[in-house]
């Protein structure tokens, strides 16, 4: 194995070459002149090279010294660069982060989140796991994901934190509207929940927020929802409404756009409040990658 020589010798060599004398180099490095001379002598012994020759004004570089000076400077610069990057790595968050996603990426500001997270913590690699809202909760409990978006009743947020041992960050509240096929205005515009329950509905699976919200509302009103079709994708629900199959819940912004673009009918008397949150297990909230995620969410959503 080759012998690794002391970098202090290189530093002494480069400094003397720059300032022209051992005495001035000692002042620059805050060392004694004998210490500088010792380092240069030791470097010469380790490499078999004579670096300086005496001159009337001090020390001059030998031809070998002139040839090796750029190499020595490059080594010292590389060491300084290494040190700077090493210091920068201290405290830097790195690791894999699995995020459960729902609905459309624009609504949950997914692109902005991933962009800012990557810029702030380049050492974090993300894996996206798409699913229905209720599936995200199940995946969290099974530790298949580290954090996930979730839709719920605004009044159920506190229960999530206490009953499901979740760390909850509330991101936004919004409203669901009831959208129906073209020409159904007279049937839905001023309907109450009992009237709406009797109409044909495009239903969703038990894991869907639609199912959870409507199930509670219809139970509170003592009626049963007339489900004629079951889907688990918002785009499919809208297509079936446009085809005249039945009615469904839809985020208000989309519902108004569908009414304007396709002439679909809206219930004007009933709406359903909802809430978008980010969840993680309380036992995982302090891990660096999860804490970094919630830190970026605070910036994006406030």
What domains does the chain contain, in order, with CATH numbers?
7-87 (1.10.10.10), 95-172+277-301 (3.40.190.10), 173-273 (3.40.190.10)
pLDDT at 128: 95
| Mutual angle of helices 33-47 and 7-19, in 10-degree steps | 120
pLDDT at 2: 47
pLDDT at 234: 84
Tokens of 64: 């070998």
Query: Helix, strand, or coil here: 124?
Result: strand
Note if the pTM is more than 0.85: no
pLDDT per residue as tens, the chain (302 positions) = 345 567 888 999 999 988 888 888 888 788 899 999 999 999 998 889 999 998 887 788 999 999 999 999 888 888 877 776 666 665 678 889 999 999 889 999 999 999 999 998 998 999 999 988 889 988 998 889 999 999 999 999 988 888 778 999 999 999 999 999 999 999 999 999 999 999 999 999 888 999 999 999 999 999 999 999 999 788 899 999 999 999 999 999 999 999 999 999 999 999 999 999 999 998 888 889 999 999 999 999 97
**Cα–Cα nearest to 203, from 211, 195, 194:** 211
Work out the angle at residue 86's Cα, subtended by the Cα atoms of residues 80 and 87, and round it to the nearest 5 degrees.
Answer: 90
pLDDT at 1: 37
């Amino acid at each position: 194995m080759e012998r690794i020589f002391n970098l202090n010798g290189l530093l002494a060599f480069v400094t003397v070459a720059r300032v022209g004398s051992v005495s001035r180099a000692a002042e620059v490095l805050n060392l004694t002149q004998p210490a500088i001379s010792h380092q240069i002598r030791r470097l010469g012994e380790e490499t078999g090279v004579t670096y300086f020759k005496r001159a009337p004004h001090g020390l001059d570089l030998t031809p070998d010294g002139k040839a090796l000076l750029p190499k020595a400077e490059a080594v010292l610069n590389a060491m300084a660069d290494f040190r700077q990057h090493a210091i920068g790595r201290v405290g830097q968050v790195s690791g894999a982060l699995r995020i459960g996603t729902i609905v459309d990426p624009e609504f949950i500001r997914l692109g902005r989140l991933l962009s800012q997270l990557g810029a702030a913590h380049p050492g974090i690699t993300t894996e996206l796991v798409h699913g229905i809202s209720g599936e995200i909760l199940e995946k969290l409990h099974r530790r298949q994901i580290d954090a996930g978006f979730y839709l719920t009743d605004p009044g159920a947020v506190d229960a999530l934190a206490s009953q499901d041992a979740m760390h909850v960050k509330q991101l936004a509240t919004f409203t669901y509207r009831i959208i129906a096929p073209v020409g159904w205005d007279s049937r839905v515009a001023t309907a109450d929940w009992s009237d709406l329950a009797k109409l044909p509905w495009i239903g969703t699976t038990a894991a869907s927020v639609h199912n959870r919200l409507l199930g509670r509302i219809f139970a509170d009103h003592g009626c049963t929802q007339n489900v004629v079709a079951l889907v688990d994708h918002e785009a499919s629900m809208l297509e079936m409404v446009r085809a005249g199959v039945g009615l469904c819940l839809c985020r208000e912004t989309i519902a108004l756009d569908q009414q304007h673009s396709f002439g679909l009918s809206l219930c004007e008397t009933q709406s359903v409040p909802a809430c978008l949150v980010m969840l993680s297990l309380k036992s995982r909230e302090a891990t660096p990658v999860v804490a970094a995620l919630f830190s970026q969410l605070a910036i994006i959503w406030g």
